[in-house]
Amino acid sequence: MAPERTGKKKSHLVSLADEDAVKEVLVSTVLNLWEAVNSLTQLRPSKKERYKVTIFGSARIPRDSWVFAEVKRLARTLAEMGCDIVTGGGPGLMQAANEGAAQAGRRGLSRSYGVRVDLPFEQDVNPFVEEAFTHRTFFTRLHQFVLMSDAFVVVPGGIGTALETLMVWQLLQVRHLDDRTPLILIGKMYSGLVDWAREHMLNPQFPLASREDMKIPLCLNTADEAIAVIRKDHAVWRKSQRKKTTRSRNAR
């Protein structure tokens, strides 16, 4: 005969009047939600239908700027190659890229995406975005850029563009992204950024990074140079997708 338990069973319920216990439940729940998100983001499709290029750039560049025209041409050329174009969905150079993709029309059969963040002063999605996603936080927005993209092209931009650039650079450094993923920086402002990192982070007295890390961003001068790099990587990507399709058919 089993002995009778006389101890009082602790309730799993938490009173809202117990502030410390409520905080503990909330913190535990949020951490468990992030664990679920982290697990789900490990999943990848066995085959991707489209090659997506994310273009990061300033919202402040006017339409009559030569930079606007050049980014539009860049995106149009990539779309004609069959690449989807992804931007932050706003005005300025983001609109230039989405507009360039739209100009490619049926020749590229590409799609144009905008991944925006909900801010009180943020403008609406630009009219050339075909499919828009809106995030409440920069963290989740940046995460979607990473999950969607096969290549990143950075054109002139401000603090937000710098944040996006450094995040992708860091993810490539720690191999959370395929190290084949191009991170292309166009313009003198970015060669200056990499020069600054090389000068201060490779200081022999206090090395803060490795020389290999400085080779991750490709600092280029023109859109045509960026197009050449993407064209080469896109060809490799298409070849790998064909191999995956063949293996999938043979496995049936």
**pLDDT, tens digit, for every residue of 186-223?**
999 999 999 999 999 999 999 999 999 999 999 999 99
Residue 94 has pLDDT above 70, yes or no: yes
Q: Provide the pLDDT confidence category of residue 19 given band limits of 50, 70 and 90.
A: confident
* Joined tokens for residue 43: 């999943």
Q: Average pLDDT, whole number, for the chain? A: 89
81-115 as b/e: b if 16+ CB within 10 A = bebbbbbbbbbbbbbbbbbbbbbbeeebebbbbbb
Long-range contact set of residues 132-139: C-beta below 8 Å, sequence gap at least 24: 132/89, 133/89, 138/163
Q: Provide the pLDDT confidence category of residue 108 given band limits of 50, 70 and 90.
A: low
CA distance 22 to 8: 22
pLDDT attached to residue 250: 74
* Joined tokens for residue 19: 């502030």
Residue 12 has pLDDT above 80, yes or no: no
Q: Provide the pLDDT confidence category of residue 4 given band limits of 50, 70 and 90.
A: low
- Count CB atoms within 10 A of the CB of residue 246: 10
Domain 52-247 in CATH 3.40.50.620? The answer is no
Q: How many CA atoms, within 13 angstroms, populate the side-chain half-sphere of residue 190? A: 29
- Residue, of 106 and 206, whose pLDDT is higher: 206
- Residue, of 225 and 14, whose pLDDT is higher: 225
- Count CB atoms within 10 A of the CB of residue 193: 19
* Joined tokens for residue 166: 């450094």
Q: What is the mean pLDDT of residues 154-163?
A: 96
DSSP notation for the chain: -PPPP-SPPPPS---TT-HHHHHHHHHHHHHHHHHHHHHHTT---SS-S-EEEEEE--S---TTSHHHHHHHHHHHHHHHTTEEEEE-SSSTHHHHHHHHHHHHGGGTT--EEEEEE--TTPPPPPTT-SEEEEESSHHHHHHHHHHH-SEEEE-S--HHHHHHHHHHHHHHHTTSS-TTS-EEEESHHHHHHHHHHHHHHS-TTS--S-TTGGGSEEEESSHHHHHHHHHHHHHHHHHHHHHHHHHHHHH-
pLDDT in tens, 32-87: 876 776 676 666 665 678 999 999 999 999 999 999 999 999 999 999 999 999 99
Q: What is the mean pLDDT of residues 235-251?
A: 83
Residue 117 has pLDDT above 80, yes or no: yes
- Residue, of 166 and 244, whose pLDDT is higher: 166
Q: What is the mean pLDDT of residues 153-170?
A: 97
CA distance 69 to 9: 71
pLDDT attached to residue 107: 63
Q: Where are the domains of the chain?
A: 52-247
Q: Provide the pLDDT confidence category of residue 2 given band limits of 50, 70 and 90.
A: low
Of 17-21, 22-26, 113-117, 248-252, least confident by mean pLDDT is 248-252
pLDDT attached to residue 40: 66
Q: What is the mean pLDDT of residues 177-186?
A: 96
pLDDT attached to residue 248: 67
* Angle formed at CA 66 by CA 82 and CA 181, multiple of 5 degrees: 40
